[in-house]
Amino acid sequence: MDGGSGAKPDPAALARVRADLAALGADADSAPEVPPAVTARVVAALRAEPAHSVPRPRLRRAQLAALLVGLVATLTAGVVGAVMLTREPAPLFATGPTAERITVDRAAGMPIPDAKILETLSQPPDFGLLADPAARASCLEGLGYPTTTPVLGARTVDQPDGPAVLLVLPDRRPDAVVAALVRPTCNAAHPALVARAVLDRP
């Protein structure tokens, strides 16, 4: 009768585990290649276990399975860490349109003098063809503003190539405003911006 304290590992189970690990390592789509540094650390940790003159007790099947699971978990953690380090960092700012990154439809300076723009702050707004609140909200979205942004002033402007609407909007600085000259077709998909200027409040 065998006087050992534990049962011998099942050779068939060990063979299946080795086969599964070998198949996982050969599958290029399952995970990136394990970095050499991770493999070296695992091997060094296994070799660093001190040896004793007393024969080691045989591992039970459950202990052997737990050891293999721990080894696989260590390798997986190393692979995941390596993948995260090689990924592109997430952008720090939103990729949507903002007031600072609006594309101007045509290169032109603001044709309205600053004094005329600032006058709109003390006059009733004249939205012209953007009088409809839904159309105006869509235009604000296209300009990179929340749809609930208050319009501080507005007036229609006759341009040589067609009518336009001047919208005076809040700037991120409390002592400044943004003047956006847009076509009446301004909407969320196409802001139709003619010119833009930032002015200090009087």
Per-domain residue ranges of the chain: 11-86, 99-200
Judged by phi (left if over 0) then psi (alpha if -120 to 50, else beta), residue 171 lies in: beta
pLDDT at 63: 61
Helix (H, G, I), strand (E, B) or coil at 105: coil
What pLDDT does 97 receive? 41
Ranges of residues in the chain with a pLDDT under 70 are 1-15, 17-35, 37-39, 41-108
pLDDT at 109: 82
**Are 113 and 65 in contact, with CB atoms under 8 Å apart?**
no
Which conformational region is residue 17 in: left (phi greater than 0), alpha (psi within -120 to 50 degrees), or beta?
alpha
pLDDT at position 91 is 36
pLDDT at position 28 is 54
In this prediction, residue 188 carries a pLDDT of 95
Instruction: Give per-residue burial for 75-111: e unless 16+ CB within 10 Å, then b.
Output: beebbeebeeeeeeeeeeeeeebebeebeeeeeeebe
pLDDT (0 to 100) of residue 161:
85
Three-state DSSP at 150 gives coil
Residue labelled with tokens 């005076």: 168
Using alpha carbons, list the distances in angstroms from residue 194 to 146, 157, 158, 197. Answer: 20, 11, 12, 11
pLDDT of residue 160: 86
pLDDT of residue 124: 95
pTM: 0.49
For helices 36-47 and 61-86, the axis angle rounded to 10 degrees is 150
Query: What's the confidence (pLDDT) of residue 153?
Result: 96
